[in-house]
């Protein structure tokens, strides 16, 4: 049943491929050392991205998806820390670089990020053009005139009128501000962009416009992207592959064609069944009982077991093994492992 | 175009809520120059003349993008913001009806004599109506006092309305309300502060607070949008269950058209303060008529990755204009692609505001495309 797409998308996911990966993350651990205890926000997470691939990181609030994004930028806010694992970017383990090297070579030039809600963090008393020119001044030492000139080009690229360099943020709508933020992430031509909830707080029509923009930029420039969102429908519209996170772990990972059509993990299943649909048969919305766990005290065994309709004895005791199914589709669930 | 086709909200025995030509305009502060030149005050026309009716036991969804006036409509009905003009009628239970006659006298009725004219009630006496007309806000984090125990948050309405004779009796009522919203055992939740609850639990407390006075009508303002996807379904189911069990009617305000399919009977789609399309849910979702409704439906993502390589064609141009400078004629015309395809309509669309006319049974649309000549 998977014939239609194999060979196109599977290669990037299959670990044994000889594909050249832009980013390879393995066994990454990011913990927050709070006064209440250690929060294992990202716990043994691994995935890889080919050049030009769009990976979706899906999950609900508190599952660690944003922390993972911060970790890739090495910007985990204290008391958080990357405590283990590796992040290979272009073959180099960036966790081994000194902060200065990382800042000069990787952050913004190699990997850039569109932070969640960044459009509301634009400086309200500075013109858009000046804010963008600042990037070129700081990173490339360009004079302001030259910076503004490049800012115009960037604005044009993201579908804004270049004259908006003279506008202040309050003069722009939400969608336009989001475009500005995207332009800033693109400024130094990074091969990888992380977009954290790039369309939340935007209306559906604007949301679709921004998605279109991200897709066409990806296509024109061949960049890779990680799109972080809680919205599985939105991710389906853009992602080549998807990693579903729950309580700090990736529970299911694979090409979108496979994961959406044939989800294996009960959590992914539950999420997909929770999406209200406009068309097609009106099936009952299922939802998932209970609430996500507290990451200071995650449940033993599989972290999803208290909410899982199929939980067995072993799920309460032992952490599930990651099983690789066809075409690199990976699932961490005892139901599958036992089979 | 015959006049019979124009939308008029139904007002009869089954009508619980009746809204006609409701307007809420917020005046803008005038700058120095405007005062000097005696320029007229400008208004944000948040709600600009809308009409609809909610039947008993019905769920009526008000759908639109941010800034379309849907929240203001919900608040204006409860007079949490004062409407500038229009009629809001509400059919109370017999007890409240008697109470209203007692405190307000005989002229607070609409012509049916069973509907209270909400706009005529003095703000002091709105309290009696609000016992039956409640609201659930969007943000469960902001709608509970962080320093108030769940118990005290739920007791407050009982105390204000003098329901229950002793503290024990009221605690009993609180426990019952918590059980109804499935926060069990209630003793576990009564003595908690909001920060000790998850988002879903908080929204349940907010719902419990809304139903504790045994209301008949609830304005639910985006009650699910702040919650996680997996929890939304539970709260949605709870709301449907409560509606059936307690005989409630909802004005369900949402930006999510797909959601309306699972809870609502009727939908009104709002754009810049006006209703552009109104009708039964199935008809609107399966056969949207207004170009704006079509565009909205088209823009909603579906969880199907097969089209991910394509760009989505959007059936709308530009962005929502400011509610201060509303375009003349049909307020959607600057963004309308149907107008581009039918340029002969320009002298109508750009000049005259289209009325809401019936195109198929109970399905009304405000668009010149459907004008019968």
> Between A216, A233, A271, which is nearest B230 by CB?
A271
**Helix (H) / strand (E) containing A74:** none
CB burial string A161-181: b at 16+ within 10 A, e below: ebebbebbbeebbbbbbbbbb
pLDDT band with cut points at 50, 70 and 90 for residue A132: very high
Find how far residue A18's CA is from the centre of its chain. 24
Q: What mean pLDDT comes out for the span A55-83?
A: 92
Q: Does A234 touch chain B (CB under 8 A)?
A: yes
| A238 near B CB under 8 A | yes
- Here the tokens at position A166 are 């003279």
Work out the number of other CB atoms within 10 angstroms of the CB of residue A3: 6
Contact between A305 and A323 (Cβ < 8 Å): no
Question: Is B372's pLDDT higher than 80?
Answer: no
Q: Is the pLDDT of residue A20 over 50?
A: yes
d(CA B172, CA B150): 14
Task: For residues B313 and B258, give the distance between their C-alpha atoms in angstroms, rounded to a whole number.
Answer: 19
Q: Mean pLDDT over residues B60-81, rounded?
A: 93
| Average pLDDT of span A147-175 | 93
Asked whether A173 and B319 are in contact (CB, 8 A), the reply is yes
Give the Cβ contact number of residue B337 at 10 Å: 15
What integer is the mean pLDDT of A184-206? 91
Which residues on A lie below 8 Å from B309 (Cβ)? 215
**Average of per-residue pLDDT across A14-37:** 81
Average pLDDT (A94-118) is 92
Helix (H, G, I), strand (E, B) or coil at A209: helix
Q: What distance in Å separates the CA atoms of residue A226 and residue B31, rounded to the nearest whole number?
A: 46
CA atoms within 13 A on the CB side of A212: 13
A292 touches B at CB < 8 Å: yes
Under the banding of pLDDT at 50, 70 and 90, the label for residue A337 is confident
A-B Cβ pairs (cutoff 8 Å, strict): 129
Closest approach of A3 to chain B, Cα-based (Å): 14
Which of A204, A278, A287 lies nearest to residue B285, judging by beta carbons? A278
Q: What is the pLDDT of residue A7?
A: 35
pLDDT tens figures, B301-346? 988 898 888 888 888 988 888 888 899 999 999 999 999 999 999 9
**Per-residue model confidence (pLDDT) at position B105:** 82
- B202 CB neighbours in chain A (<8 A) are none
In whole angstroms, give the CA distance from residue A292 to residue B228: 10
Average pLDDT, integer, range B279-307:
92
Across the range B263-278, mean pLDDT stands at: 95
8 Å CB contact between A13 and A327: yes
**What is chain B's mean pLDDT, rounded?**
91
Task: Give one word for A207, left, alpha or beta, with left for phi > 0 and alpha for psi -120 to 50.
Answer: alpha
Nearest-CA residue of chain B relative to A61? Answer: B228
Nearest-neighbour CA in chain B from A210: distance (Å)? 10
Question: What structural domains does chain A harbor?
Answer: 3-110+188-286 (3.40.50.300), 121-186 (no CATH)
Which DSSP helix (H) or strand (E) runs through B350? none
Residue in B65, B285, B311 nearest the CB of A212? B311
Cα-only R_g, chain B: 22
* B259 has a pLDDT exceeding 80: yes
Q: Is the pLDDT of residue B106 over 80?
A: no
C-alpha to C-alpha distance for B145 and B266, rounded to whole angstroms: 34
Q: What angle, rounded to 10 degrees, do the helices at A174-186 and A204-221 form?
A: 20
Residue A19 has pLDDT above 70, yes or no: no
Enter the DSSP assignment of B109. B
Residue A37 contacts residue A81 (beta carbons within 8 Å)? no
pLDDT classification of B2: cutoffs 50, 70, 90: low
pLDDT digits 0-9 by tens, B140-170: 888 999 999 999 999 999 999 999 889 999 9
B228 touches chain A (CB under 8 A): yes
User: Cα angle vertex B340, ends B338, B346, to 5°?
Assistant: 95
The C-alpha atoms of residue A53 and residue A192 are separated, in whole angstroms, by: 9
Does A9 have pLDDT greater than 60?
Answer: no
The pLDDT of residue A281 is 75
Q: What does the alpha-carbon distance between residue B171 and residue A230 come to, in Å, rounded to a whole number?
A: 38
Residue A17 has pLDDT above 60, yes or no: no
Mean pLDDT of B56-80: 93
Compute the mean pLDDT over every residue in chain A, rounded to the nearest whole number.
Answer: 89
ipTM for the assembly: 0.86
Q: Do B230 and A260 touch (CB under 8 A)?
A: no
Distance CA B46, CA B66 (A): 11
For residues A29 and A81, is the Cβ–Cβ distance under 8 A? Answer: no
Question: Does residue A156 have a pLDDT over 70?
Answer: yes
Higher pLDDT, A315 or A1: A315
Residue A239: which residues within 8 A CB-CB, separation 6 or more? A54, A55, A56, A227, A256, B305, B308
- Our CA-based measurement puts residue A33 at a distance from the nearest CA of chain B, in whole angstroms, of 21
In DSSP notation, A125-152 reads TS-HHHHHHHHHHHHH---HHHHHHHHH
What's residue B108's pLDDT?
85
In chain B, which residues have their Cβ closer than 8 Å to the Cβ of A240? 308
For residues A204 and B296, the answer to whether their CB atoms sit within 8 Å is yes
Q: Which chain B residues are closer than 8 Å to A171 by Cβ?
A: none
Tell me how far apart the alpha carbons of residues A277 and B259 are, in angstroms, rounded to a whole number.
7
User: What is the structure's pLDDT at A237?
Assistant: 93
Q: Tell me the average pLDDT across A154-159.
A: 93
DSSP state letters, A167-183: --GGGS-HHHHHHHHHH
Using a CB-CB cut-off of 8 Å, the residues of chain B touching A251 are none
Q: Which residue among A216, A260, A276 places its CB closest to the CB of B305?
A: A260
Highest mean pLDDT among A113-122, A125-134, A325-334: A125-134
Name the 3-class secondary structure at B69: coil
* Assigned token pair, A2: 């998977």
pLDDT band at A102 (very low <50, low <70, confident <90, very high): very high
Cβ B44 vs Cβ B323: under 8 Å: yes
Q: Which residues of A touch B332 (CB under 8 A)?
A: none
Q: Which secondary structure element, helix H or strand E, spans residue A272, and what is its range?
A: helix A266-273
Closest CA to B355 of B7, B2, B4: B7
Mean pLDDT of B99-128: 89
Taking the alpha carbons at both ends of chain B, their separation in whole angstroms is 6
In terms of Cβ atoms closer than 10 Å to its own Cβ (0-12, 13-18, 19+), residue A228 is buried
User: Which positions in chain A touch B302 (Cβ < 8 Å)?
Assistant: 233, 236-237, 277-279
At residue A72, does pLDDT exceed 50? yes
Q: pLDDT tens, B200-247?
A: 899 999 999 999 999 999 999 999 988 888 888 989 999 999 999 999
pLDDT, position A8: 34
Q: How confident is the model at residue A117 (pLDDT cuts 50, 70, 90)?
A: confident
A226 and A238 in contact (C-beta within 8 Å)?
no
Sign of the alpha-carbon dihedral angle for B281, B286, B289, B293? positive
What single string gives the DSSP state of each residue in B292-323?
Answer: HHHHHHHHS--S-GGGTTSPPPPSB-S-PPPS
Q: How far apart are CA A139 and CA A133, in angstroms?
A: 10
Strand order in the sheet with B43-55: B43-55, B15-27, B85-90, B116-117
Q: Do A236 and B233 touch (CB under 8 A)?
A: no
pLDDT at A336 over 70: yes
Percent of chain B with pLDDT over 90: 73
Question: Going along A54-208, which residue ranges are E strands?
Answer: 54-58, 80-89, 92-93, 111-114, 192-196
């Amino acid at each position: 049943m998977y014939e239609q797409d194999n060979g196109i998308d599977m290669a990037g996911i299959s670990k044994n491929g000889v594909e050249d990966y832009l980013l390879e993350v393995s066994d990454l651990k990011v913990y927050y050392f709070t006064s209440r205890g250690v929060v294992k926000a990202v716990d043994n997470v691994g995935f890889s991205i080919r050049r030009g691939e769009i990976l979706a990181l899906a999950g609900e609030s508190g599952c660690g998806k944003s922390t993972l994004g911060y970790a890739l930028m090495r910007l985990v806010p204290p008391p958080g820390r990357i405590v283990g694992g590796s992040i290979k970017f272009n073959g180099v383990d960036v966790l081994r670089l000194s902060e200065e090297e990382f800042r000069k070579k990787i952050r913004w030039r190699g990997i850039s990020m569109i932070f969640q809600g960044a459009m509301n963090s634009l400086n309200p008393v500075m013109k858009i053009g000046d804010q963008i020119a600042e990037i070129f001044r700081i990173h490339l030492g360009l004079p302001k005139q030259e910076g503004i000139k490049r800012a115009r080009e960037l604005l044009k690229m993201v579908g804004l009128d270049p004259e908006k360099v003279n506008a202040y943020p309050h003069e722009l709508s939400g969608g336009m501000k989001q475009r500005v933020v995207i332009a800033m992430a693109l400024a130094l031509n990074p091969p990888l962009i992380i977009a954290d909830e790039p369309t939340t707080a935007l209306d559906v029509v604007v949301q679709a416009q921004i998605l279109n923009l991200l897709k066409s930029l990806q296509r024109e420039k061949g960049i890779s992207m990680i799109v972080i969102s809680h919205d599985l429908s939105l991710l389906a519209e853009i992602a080549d592959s998807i990693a579903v996170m729950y309580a700090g772990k990736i529970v299911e990972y694979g090409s979108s064609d496979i994961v959406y059509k044939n989800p294996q993990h009960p959590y992914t299943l539950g999420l997909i069944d929770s999406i209200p649909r406009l068309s097609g048969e009106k099936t009952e919305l299922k939802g998932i009982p209970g609430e996500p766990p507290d990451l200071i005290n995650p449940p033993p065994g599989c972290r999803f077991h208290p909410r899982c309709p199929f939980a067995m004895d072993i799920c309460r005791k032992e952490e599930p093994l990651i099983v690789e199914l066809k075409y690199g589709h990976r699932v961490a669930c005892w139901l599958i492992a036992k089979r | 175009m015959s006049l019979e086709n124009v939308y008029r909200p139904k007002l009869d025995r089954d009508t619980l809520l009746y809204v006609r030509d409701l307007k809420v305009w917020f005046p803008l502060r005038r700058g120095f120059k405007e005062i000097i030149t005696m320029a007229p005050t400008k208004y944000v026309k948040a709600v600009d003349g809308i009409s609809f009716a909610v039947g008993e036991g019905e769920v009526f969804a008000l759908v639109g993008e941010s800034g379309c006036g849907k929240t203001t409509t919900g608040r204006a009905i409860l007079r949490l913001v004062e409407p500038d003009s229009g009629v809001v009628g509400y059919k109370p239970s017999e007890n409240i009806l008697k109470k209203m006659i007692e405190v307000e006298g005989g002229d607070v009725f609409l012509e049916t004599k069973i509907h209270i004219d909400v706009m005529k009630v003095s703000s002091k006496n709105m309290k009696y109506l609000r016992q039956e007309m409640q609201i659930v806000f969007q943000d469960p984090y902001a709608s509970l006092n962080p320093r108030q125990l769940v118990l005290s948050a739920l007791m407050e309405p009982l105390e204000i309305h003098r329901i229950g004779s002793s503290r024990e009796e009221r605690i009993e009522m609180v426990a019952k309300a918590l059980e109804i919203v499935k926060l069990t055992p209630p003793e576990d939740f009564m003595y908690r502060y909001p920060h000790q609850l998850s988002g879903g639990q908080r929204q349940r407390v907010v719902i419990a607070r809304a139903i504790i006075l045994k209301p008949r009508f609830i304005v639910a303002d985006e009650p699910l949008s702040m919650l996680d996807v997996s929890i939304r379904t539970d709260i949605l189911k709870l709301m449907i269950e409560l509606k059936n069990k307690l005989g409630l009617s909802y004005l369900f305000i949402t930006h999510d058209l797909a959601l309306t399919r699972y809870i609502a009977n009727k939908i009104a789609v709002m754009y810049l303060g006006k209703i552009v399309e109104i009708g039964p849910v199935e008809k609107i979702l399966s056969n949207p008529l207004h170009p704006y409704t079509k565009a909205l439906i088209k823009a909603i993502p579906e969880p199907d990755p097969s089209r991910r390589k394509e760009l989505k064609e959007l059936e709308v141009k530009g962005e929502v204009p400011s509610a201060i400078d509303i375009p003349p004629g049909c307020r959607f015309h600057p963004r309308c692609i149907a107008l581009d395809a039918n340029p002969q309509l320009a002298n109508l669309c750009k000049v005259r505001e289209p009325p809401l006319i019936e195109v198929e049974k109970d399905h009304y649309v405000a668009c010149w495309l459907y004008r019968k000549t």
